[in-house]
Structure 1
Amino acid sequence: MCTRILWNTNHHAVLAGRTMDWPESTEPVLTVFPRGLERNGGMLGGTTVVADNPLRWTSGFGSLVTTVYGAGTADGINEAGLAAHMLYLDSTDLGPRDPGRPGLQIALWIQYLLDSARNVQEALDLLDTCQLVPVELRGFQASVHVALEDAAGDSAIVEYIEGRRQVHHDRSYTIMTNEPSYEEQLRLLREKVRAVQGLGHDRPSSEVPLPGNVNAVDRFQRAAYFGALLPEPADDRQAVAAILAVTRNASVPFGAPYREGRFKTYNTEYRTVCDLTGKRYFFELATGPNLLWAEIDRFDLSPGAPVMTLRPDGTDLVGDVSDRFTRAPAPF
């Protein structure tokens, strides 16, 4: 059900790792969007889902993202150094639709922010410009919350609970998973920290009892613990390896039981790392041994440039694959 880990305390790069945990393939495609694209926030793929007063905008920044089901954006970074991640939150409640406000279908939420903002504060300022509208993707309600971070290390978590927006904005908000709400996750983490401290401050870190299951609370606390232990890296390569190590530790192994319902397992499908300093985007498919990445500055992001895509499931894809992207068929 996804984990996001931000590392903004080392001296080499601001890095954010995330897992995509889902019961089936989300059909990820790495996609580069240039500036100057005319957007309609009422479209889901080729279908109109917000007919009354859809939000319309023109992309002001180019971005490198991972799409979901070809109908929205799940994760990505823009050329200004803003990154955004959508994670599942079952308790999401957007409230009733107000047709007097421009409507944005929720699967395009972070694409709107990446298109329009250069940092976390600018992204938060955009939240009042529209109203999010729920949609369904492949039989699943797109019930999500969003994590944002930028090249300065700023961070924000945005949720909609009982129809009201809740924002946690501070560079200290580095971990996000799923249920329960973020405020409750922070409370549970504080309780865990107090319990561990009660065991004695001289206890070796290898003997600290950690939750080891795959539910959202356990992953949140495990990622917070190991993320706080990361040593200062010697270089950018070691920094990326370090955040990947924690991201893999929070991943869900194949077959691990999670919940009842349509599917009982939500295994990790892929992992990404956003290098906000170097403007590189790393991608690792859980079913393959190869780590690949692309550098956003190597693409033509000028208005009128083509949308470029890459399906990341080829076993021959490894290392810098910036030159392996191909023009997407029009219209995109």
Structure 2
Amino acid sequence: MCTRILWNTGDHAVLTGRTMDWPESTEPVLTVLPRGQERDGGTLAGATVVGDNPLRWTSRFASLVTTVYGAGTADGLNEAGLGAHMLYLDSTDPGPRDPGTPGLQIALWIQYLLDGAATVREALFLLDACQLVPVEMHGFRATVHVALEDASGDSAIIEYIAGERRVHHDRSYTIMTNEPPYDEQLHLLREQVRRVKELGHDGPGSEVPLPGNVNAVDRFQRAAYFGALLPEPADDRQAVAAILAVTRNASVPFGAPYREGRFRTYNTEYRTVCDLTNKRYCFELSTSPNLLWAELDRFDLSPGAPAMTLDPDDIDLAGNVSSRFTPSPAPF
């Protein structure tokens, strides 16, 4: 149920690839949001979900994002080069509501950060100004954790477990999936490395045993292995192709069983690449053979400009689709 991979390519761009793994369509829409927009963090699809002291703010930065169910932001980047990604985490628990702190419905969590922060450090500072409020979308409780990165290559993983905020902040935190919480994932990765060395494998190779299933632990370890092996790219095109190769390796095929529950399969719905250096956003729908992308500097991002949207579920879309966006009311 989602994988995120950060890659600092060296002489080229800082890139992040992610998969969106979900049992049904999240109704993704590519959306450009200009600066200066007023937001209400207490509403969800027009309904009030934080009745007491909702967080309200005005966007400082423009952003290019993928929305989820038209009610929040799942993924994207802003004009300053901050990227943000929301991934599922069953054990998320922000704790009991404190009405003395402005409440932010959790589906707008990363939009709030993209609106107000230029860097990972600035985004972490913004967390103190609000309290997350869990919500339900399409019958699913939105229990999530967040990965952040910026154009300098800085990175952070943010989780709320048993009412406690846990932040892993370091450019070395490049991989993220789902359960278990991040500190346990790091422990499991170290154990896997130890077992591989015990088998006599001191370096990478085709004989190194890698976990190959679709659960979060296997995807985490596979993405960490292949992400660490990426060669220096010759240009931006090769860099995007390389990070996409790893995200495809960590993707979930159609029909692959995950676990018991409302749905037993969580196949990859789409993949994205955030180019934080060039402010370029790539999108690949799993049911379409085409890669498409948009560039933030192609849009009017000034206060008062309209929001711009594009439905990516169009087999005729391919390449740079910046000119295909159309004005639309802001989704939130």
Q: Which residue of 2 aligns with 1:240?
A: 240
The amino acid across from 2:179 in the alignment is E
Q: Which residue of 1 aligns with 2:155?
A: 155
Q: Which residue of 1 aligns with 2:78?
A: 78
Worse overlay, 224-233 or 8-17: 8-17
Partner of 1:111: helix, strand, or coil?
helix
Separation (CA, whole Å) in 2 of partners of 1:289 and 1:56: 40
Q: Which residue of 2 aligns with 1:179?
A: 179
Q: Which residue of 2 aligns with 1:170?
A: 170
Q: Deviations over 1:60-100 (max 9, x none)?
A: 00000000000000000000000000000000011000000
Does 2:253 match 1:253? Answer: yes
The amino acid across from 2:160 in the alignment is Y
Separation (CA, whole Å) in 2 of partners of 1:242 and 1:171: 19
**After TM superposition, what 4+ stretches of structure 1 lie above 4 angstroms from structure 2?**
201-204
- How much does 1:195 deviate? 1.1
Q: Which residue of 1 aligns with 2:13?
A: 13
Q: Deviations over 1:195-218 (max 9, x none)?
A: 112222456610000000000000
The amino acid across from 2:269 in the alignment is E
Q: Which residue of 2 aligns with 1:47?
A: 47
Q: Which residue of 1 aligns with 2:290?
A: 290
The amino acid across from 2:261 in the alignment is G
Alignment of 1:187-198 (within 5 A): 187-198=187-198
Q: Is the CA contact 2:71–2:331 (under 8 Å) kept in the aligned structure 1?
A: no
The amino acid across from 2:239 in the alignment is A
TM-score of the pair, normalised by structure 2: 0.98
Does 2:76 match 1:87? Answer: no
Does 2:272 match 1:272? Answer: yes
The amino acid across from 1:131 in the alignment is Q
Separation (CA, whole Å) in 1 of partners of 2:259 and 2:242: 30
Q: Deviations over 1:216-267 (max 9, x none)?
A: 0000000000000101111110000000000000000000000101000000
Separation (CA, whole Å) in 2 of partners of 1:38 and 1:311: 24
Which ranges in structure 1 are unaligned for 5 or more consecutive residues? none
Which ranges in structure 2 are unaligned for 5 or more consecutive residues? none
Q: Is the CA contact 2:5–2:223 (under 8 Å) kept in the aligned structure 1?
A: yes
Separation (CA, whole Å) in 1 of partners of 2:331 and 2:104: 20
Separation (CA, whole Å) in 1 of partners of 2:266 and 2:105: 24
> Would the alpha carbon gap of residues 174 and 202 (structure 1) be closer, same or farther in structure 2, given more than 3 Å must change?
closer
Worse overlay, 135-144 or 3-12: 3-12
Q: Which residue of 2 aligns with 1:115?
A: 115
Q: Deviations over 1:132-163 (max 9, x none)?
A: 00000000000000000000000000000011
Partner of 1:297: helix, strand, or coil?
helix
Q: Is the CA contact 2:136–2:142 (under 8 Å) kept in the aligned structure 1?
A: yes
Q: Which residue of 2 aligns with 1:312?
A: 312
Separation (CA, whole Å) in 2 of partners of 1:40 and 1:202: 53
The amino acid across from 2:280 in the alignment is R
> Would the alpha carbon gap of residues 302 and 209 (structure 1) be closer, same or farther in structure 2, given more than 3 Å must change?
same
Identity among equivalent pairs (%) = 83
- How much does 1:331 deviate? 7.5
Separation (CA, whole Å) in 1 of partners of 2:47 and 2:128: 25
Does 2:57 match 1:57? Answer: yes
Q: Deviations over 1:88-126 (max 9, x none)?
A: 000001100000000000000000000000000000000
> Would the alpha carbon gap of residues 331 and 274 (structure 1) be closer, same or farther in structure 2, given more than 3 Å must change?
closer
- How much does 1:330 deviate? 6.5
> Would the alpha carbon gap of residues 330 and 170 (structure 1) be closer, same or farther in structure 2, given more than 3 Å must change?
closer
* Number of equivalenced pairs: 332
Q: Is the CA contact 2:93–2:163 (under 8 Å) kept in the aligned structure 1?
A: yes
Coordinate RMSD, CA, aligned: 1.0
Separation (CA, whole Å) in 2 of partners of 1:89 and 1:331: 25
- How much does 1:329 deviate? 3.6
- How much does 1:10 deviate? 3.0
Q: Is the CA contact 2:7–2:14 (under 8 Å) kept in the aligned structure 1?
A: yes
Separation (CA, whole Å) in 1 of partners of 2:2 and 2:28: 15
